[in-house]
Structure 1
Amino acid sequence: MRVLPSERVLSNGSEGTPLPDSAGEQPPLIRRTELVATALVGLLIISIIAVLYFAKAFFLPVVLAFVVGTMLSPVASFLERYRIPRSIAALAVVITVAAGAAFMVALISSTLMEWSTRLPELAARLKDKLHVFDRLLALWQELQTMVGGGTDTQALGMPKVEWVQPTLEFVSPTFTEFLLFFATLVLFIASWRDLRRALIMNFGDHDARLRTLRILNEIEVHLGNYLLTVTIINIGIGIATGIVCALTHMPSPGGLGALAATLNFIPIIGPVAMFVVLLLVGVLSLPTLGSGVMAAVAFTGIAFLEGHFITPTIIGRRLSLNALAVFLMLAFWTWMWGPMGAFLSSPLLIVALIVKEHLVPVNSPQLP
């Protein structure tokens, strides 16, 4: 009798039960080409991140101009319908936005200058109000003495200001970056229509052209709606904060409202920073600690309503973003480009989601 190759013989010499070939059940091995391709993609991503980080002075103004220009292009197109040349419309839009930003900066700067002239008085007030913590500080000194820290009280003095200069360098862009941003913004808005056409016609396939057109249209619409909606909401936040500051007798309610509206453009970090500012200003300027925290507590309620009810209702599900994705993008771009990177985190996330939706479509799962 003929024995098939797939059959095995038991140790006693009799025919055994046919067993499957073990070679066919081996797990699939990772091919060398796939490993090399994955490594090359990882190295490419690392190289791009390194270039964006070390060439921040160039890429930050350019990317910021591209994102803001995409948001403002519909306004220039609207003005162009009334026979206004595209270049003049772009210049008018940029000048209007710059004037609004300068007005907000002027309100905030006047408040900061006023407070800077009152620093000695505010320091004396703060020292008087911190007497309630004298016993706690005495206990802390005793604890330091017990653990061998000595009786040196300089550790409880004013902190060093070595962080001031690095912080200013981190926050403040240079004049060259401002100039590059505004020049790129005007030229981008003025030539956005031609850039769209060139980018679409760069593809030879009809389907690829149509997909690119849809991506660009959706990016322009979504970024424009995002800027308009967020600006209106932040202006409302600023007005509400100014009213609260006026009712609680806080100094310079207009400047604090403008600061709240400006900081609210930065997700997560902005409201937290504004809460700290209101808390410090209230404690320093108002006679009691209870009255000093009222504005900060009221702002917390305003920010909670805005973040959990107002913004999701107005923006809707189409522009709603996952909280974890927003936080990770915020952390990454803040580390990469500072406060301007924090401002760009949500628009860049919107762009990435739109591109992913068109290039890697995912069918919605069907429930059984």
Structure 2
Amino acid sequence: MRVLPTERLLPDGNEGSPLVEHRSEVPPMIRRTEVVAIALVILTVICVTGVLYFAKAFFLPVVMAFVVGTMLSPAANRLERFRIPRAIAALLIVAAVATAVAFIVGLISAPLLDWSNRLPELATRLKDKLNVFDRPIALWHEMQAATGGGSPESATNLQLPKFDWVQPTIEFLSPTFTEFLLFFATLVLFIASWRDLRRALIMNFGDHEARLRTLRILNEIELHLGNYLLTVTLINTGLGVATGLACALSGMPNPAGLGALAATLNFIPIIGSIAMFAILTVVGIITFPTLGGGLVAPLAFAGIAFVEGHFITPTIIGRRLALNALAVFIALAFWTWLWGPMGAFLASPLLIVGLIMKGHLLPDDSPQLPPD
């Protein structure tokens, strides 16, 4: 019997129904071009991140000026309605912002300078107050010695860190004069020329649909960033006032400065509240004779920050733009690593910009995964 090329007999040799061979090839899950495209995207992200990291002195003040300028553009638009030229409006807005920043820095710097001049004395007082932890620390070192991790004689009481970290910390937190100058100059010019920049960016596209989409993206970014700055500023001001009142009622020194510091640090999500709680704890332990008295203000601030972070801010901001907690945390970690405290401040605004662009460039009606 002659077998056709597309047929073959059953294994036992019986002449039954032939098995048809299907020679159609299944396409690979990821084609070579897709692999190359993904690799190019990864390399581009790495290169851009490296440039932003090593050229921080230039890109940080410029990006900060762009973001803050976009936030303040609605205020310039309102001043223009009163027939104030946009250039003068930009100068007035930047002067008002600089005055507010100088006022807050004045409230915070006075106690910081006083505490920095008394660091050795304050460290000694703090060590004396924390002697209640000597026994638990000694037990910990004994357990380490029993497991071969150290000797009990290595440390039997609380050891405070040395003060050689103060200068590097100040250098890390404080931008240079050149960065300040570049930031304010770029901010004034950006606000003054924002309308022309918008028009040039929109007209750069030849397609009408692309121009309309760009206009919508810019309008939504300006609206959301302006609302974000106004809302967060009001919320942080309320938190600072509440913290100052709690510090005053509990007998903490310089409650106005501590309240201003709480409002300023709260612009940095998560990290700001943790840092403020640690500062209040240290100041309270140093100031009050008992450990319980020193923890009154930190615990009060923890309650205020909990209500603000879990009820007030999500309720107000969540109505305008929903921010995923994991996305906020990852953005905060990345930008803090890249640009320090100023990067932490920019994390949420840049995340908002990214979400807006994603919503317009990758709309929800695009192909999605099938439901489970």
TM-score (norm 2): 0.91
Deviates more, 1:274-283 or 1:118-127: 118-127
2 CA distance for matches of 1:139 and 1:29?
58
**Letter matched to residue 211 of structure 2:** R
**Letter matched to residue 26 of structure 2:** Q
Q: What is the match of residue 311 of structure 1?
A: 313
Instruction: Give the 5 Å matches for 1:350-361.
Output: 350-361=352-363
Q: Is the 8 A contact 1:53 1:337 kept in 2?
A: yes
How far apart are residue 165 of structure 1 and its match?
Answer: 3.6
Q: What is the match of residue 132 of structure 1?
A: 132
1 CA distance for matches of 2:152 and 2:277?
37
**Letter matched to residue 206 of structure 1:** H
How far apart are residue 136 of structure 1 and its match?
Answer: 3.8
Deviates more, 1:31-40 or 1:203-212: 31-40
2 CA distance for matches of 1:160 and 1:118?
14
- State the identity %: 71
**Letter matched to residue 67 of structure 2:** V
2 CA distance for matches of 1:163 and 1:41?
39
1 CA distance for matches of 2:211 and 2:32?
35
Instruction: Give the 5 Å matches for 1:275-354.
Output: 275-354=277-356
TM-score (norm 1): 0.92
1:354 alignment partner, SS class:
helix
2 CA distance for matches of 1:343 and 1:320?
18
**Residues 6 and 126 of structure 1, relative CA distance in 2, 3 Å threshold:** same
2 CA distance for matches of 1:115 and 1:102?
20
Q: Is the 8 A contact 1:282 1:292 kept in 2?
A: yes
1:24 alignment partner, SS class:
coil
2 CA distance for matches of 1:12 and 1:128?
92
Unaligned segments of structure 2, at least 5 residues: none
2 CA distance for matches of 1:134 and 1:164?
26
**Residues 184 and 10 of structure 1, relative CA distance in 2, 3 Å threshold:** same
**Residues 195 and 121 of structure 1, relative CA distance in 2, 3 Å threshold:** same
Q: What is the match of residue 231 of structure 1?
A: 233
1 CA distance for matches of 2:22 and 2:52?
51
Deviates more, 1:36-45 or 1:293-302: 36-45
Q: What is the match of residue 245 of structure 1?
A: 247
Match of 2:209 among 207, 210, 222: 207
Q: Is the 8 A contact 2:108 2:260 kept in 1?
A: yes
How far apart are residue 204 of structure 1 and its match?
Answer: 0.5
- Number of residue pairs matched by the alignment: 368
Q: Is the 8 A contact 1:8 1:15 kept in 2?
A: no
Query: What's the C-alpha RMSD, in Å, of the aligned pairs?
Result: 2.6
**Letter matched to residue 247 of structure 1:** L
Q: Is the 8 A contact 2:265 2:273 kept in 1?
A: yes
Instruction: Give the 5 Å matches for 1:48-127.
Output: 48-119=48-119, 121-127=121-127
Unaligned segments of structure 1, at least 5 residues: none
**Residues 72 and 20 of structure 1, relative CA distance in 2, 3 Å threshold:** farther
Deviates more, 1:169-178 or 1:333-342: 169-178
1 CA distance for matches of 2:217 and 2:15?
66
1 CA distance for matches of 2:12 and 2:156?
90
Deviates more, 1:4-13 or 1:337-346: 4-13
2:23 alignment partner, SS class:
helix
Q: Deviations over 1:48-107 (max 9, x none)?
A: 111111111111111000000000011011101111111010011011011101100110
Q: Deviations over 1:171-224 (max 9, x none)?
A: 221111111111100000000000000000000100000000000000000000
Q: Deviations over 1:141-171 (max 9, x none)?
A: 6667765637455996443344334333322
Q: Deviations over 1:106-159 (max 9, x none)?
A: 100011123334445534432432333343455456667765637455996443
Instruction: Give the 5 Å matches for 1:238-277.
Output: 238-277=240-279
